[in-house]
Chains A and B, each alone.
Chain A
Amino acid sequence: MSVTDVAAFLGAYPFRPGVEGSPDALLRHMDRLGIERAWVGSLPSILHQDPAPANRVLVASARPHRDRLLPVPTVNPEQAAWQDDVNHALDEAVPAVRMYPGYQGIADAGPEMRVAVVAAAAAGLPVVLTVRLEDSRQRHPLDTAAGPSAAGVRTLVRLDDQVRLLVSHADRAFVEEVHFGLTPAEAGRVLWDIAWVRGPPDDHFAHLVRAIGSERLVLGTGLPLRLGETAFVRLELSDLSEREQARILERNLDDWLRGSGTP
């Protein structure tokens, strides 16, 4: 078992010129924090209509560090021949694909997303949906894309029993609205990272563990946009047992990918 971060990125982000997006920089953060592996998305691909070139850069950048950096390419369901990107993802044996319907100009649970999510599911690929990358108050005036909605997530999960969604950077209210809006079997196909869930004194994180179960939660940092320390401190201050913390850091993701995290 090793600690895996499901919400890390490589590459430049145009709204944040000070972010260092190289593999070496990310690995330095991971080493400092004791993160063995990271699912890495491509930051520039989020704003590209055709994500394929950025995906190629992502895969090439991660290749020398493939034991630690697992590329999670972007699929734009609105782009022509997006199926090719899913096939390339399969060729690269990636753990998942990312979709950003708001940035891609499509409805979060519209026809394009429905088809692409089911296609990814048929290929055995979970889909990573990111509720937000930055605090809405700080976003660039032109950065107005909506994140996926809770209703959209519920709709996508219900499409097919094979659909698995990893929802990143959701807050407590979002998680609860989705989780308790699904059957236990449906909820078992959704995994949440803890990147945007508040710790003390409000203790939303501890509340979520009690409400939905620690098995539904995994480590997500937002590196290199955000301090990776935050998720670890959140765990430490939650008063969870070491066993539960280890589960979130190390076991839940593997269990979910194997299908044993489903009730």
Chain B
Amino acid sequence: MLIDVHSHFYTEESGRPDWLRLNERRLAVASRIGITAQVASILGTWGRRSPTYFPSPDDVRHANHAMAALCRAHPRAVYGYCVVNPNDTDGALGEIERAGAEGMIGLKLAASRRADDRLVDSVVEAATRRGWPILHHVWQHRRREWPGQEASDARELACLADRHPDGHFILAHLGGGGDWSHSLRVMRSVENVWVDLSGSGVDIDMVHAALDEVGPARLVWGTDLTIDTAVARLRYLDALGLSDHDRDGIQWRNAWDLFVGMAHHVGH
């Protein structure tokens, strides 16, 4: 089995004329490389009608609705994260209820509000009550504000995780840009945060450091926007000669244990 915990799709409102080809290509490549299930999100309208990381209420609803439709079209192969903008707190809580009823199995927090801001608490509590893990977009060692997002880094995610010891968090795309060594040092001791290896970065030492600092029990595999880099990491992990237990944990079992909704859909 192979579970991708960080995937994305597009809609006709995503501002990309090739949106359908991109979706079909992702599904085809996933099938080709043996991805059993992918947990995906759509970030609003990807900047077309409202900013990618600050989606409007309409765009949040549009994205989650489209994501739910993709899940229905590809049962047991595609699962959905509910995307919210915590600044619209009532809307976010309502969206979690609605998306839950539509079968979503996780919450995606991107960069609408800093992770350590208490405004995020009620949203996290709602997701945790449903048993959803929370995939949190992270800038690995944010040294300054970056335009277009209110990005969080590992320290800020750790604050959130500390305030919600019953919550299960996933630090997004360790290879997605920034100083991954900073994130790994933070995550050594934050036991309710798993680390998603996805991203375009394929530093060899990042893979070794992730295994050493966080350990295979808290690593999960994902693709994000670049599938070839994710497959490369998978092959390298295979080449390292990990035990079957550790390799399976990273490839699927850790994710399977995190996403309780997945088992519910499969019927176990």
Give chain A interface residues in 135-169, CB to chain B under 8 Å: 135, 137-138, 141
A247 contacts the other chain (Cβ, under 8 Å)? no
Count of A-B residue pairs with CB < 8 Å? 86
Is there an interface contact between B177 and A233, defined as CB atoms closer than 8 Å?
no
Q: Which secondary structure dominates chain A's binding surface?
A: loop
Q: What sequence of 0s and 1s flags, for each residue 1-30 of chain A, a beta carbon within 8 Å of any chain B beta carbon? A: 000000000000000101100000000000
Which residues of B are at the interface with A, using a C-beta cutoff of 8 A?
22-23, 25-26, 29, 32-33, 139-140, 143, 177-180, 200-205, 207-209, 225-229, 231-233, 235-236, 239
Residue of B nearest to A226 (CB): B202
Q: Do B32 and A237 have beta carbons less than 8 Å apart?
A: yes
Given A198-B228, A199-B226, A233-B232, verify A227-B204 contact (CB < 8 Å): yes
Interchain nearest-CB distance for A5 vs B (Å): 14
A198 to B229, CA, bound (A): 9
Known: A199-B227, A201-B25, A237-B231. A226 touches B32 (CB 8 A): no
Report the minimum CB–CB distance from A227 to chain B (whole Å): 4
A237 and B209 form a contact (CB under 8 A): no
The 8 A-B residue pairs with the shortest CB-CB distance in the complex, in nearest-first order: A18-B205, A199-B228, A137-B177, A229-B232, A230-B232, A227-B202, A201-B25, A201-B26
Closest residue on chain B to residue A205 by CB atoms: B228
Asked if A32 is at the interface of the complex by the 8 Å CB criterion, the answer is: yes
A137-B177, A138-B201 are known contacts. Are A200 and B227 too (CB-CB below 8 A)?
Answer: yes
A167-226 residues at the B interface, CB under 8 angstroms: 198-203, 222-226
B179, A233: Cβ atoms under 8 Å?
A: no
- Say which residue of A18, A137, A203, A227 sits within 8 Å of B209 (CB atoms): A18
Q: A135 vs B205: C-alpha distance in the bound complex, in angstroms?
A: 14
A200 near B228: Cβ-Cβ < 8 Å: yes
Q: Give Cα A225 to B202, complex, Å.
A: 8
- Find out whether the CB atom of B203 lies under 8 angstroms from the CB atom of A198: no
Q: Are A200 and B25 CB-contacts (below 8 A) given A138-B178, A237-B231?
A: yes
A201-B25, A230-B229, A237-B228 known; A141+B201 contact, CB < 8 A = no
Residues of chain A contacted by B231 (CB below 8 angstroms) = 229, 233, 237
Tell whether A234 is near chain B: CB-to-CB under 8 Å. Answer: yes
The winner among B203, B208, B226 for most chain A CB atoms within 10 A is B203
A175 to B32 Cα, complex, angstroms: 28
Who on chain B is nearest to A199 by CB? Answer: B228
Contacts of B205 in A (CB 8 A): 16, 18-19
Q: Which residue of A lies closest to B142 (CB)?
A: A137
Which residues does chain A contribute within 8 Å of B208, judged by CB atoms?
18
CA distance A227 to B231 in the complex (A): 11
Known: A32-B239, A229-B232, A229-B235. A224 touches B26 (CB 8 A): no
CA distance A18 to B23 in the complex (A): 37
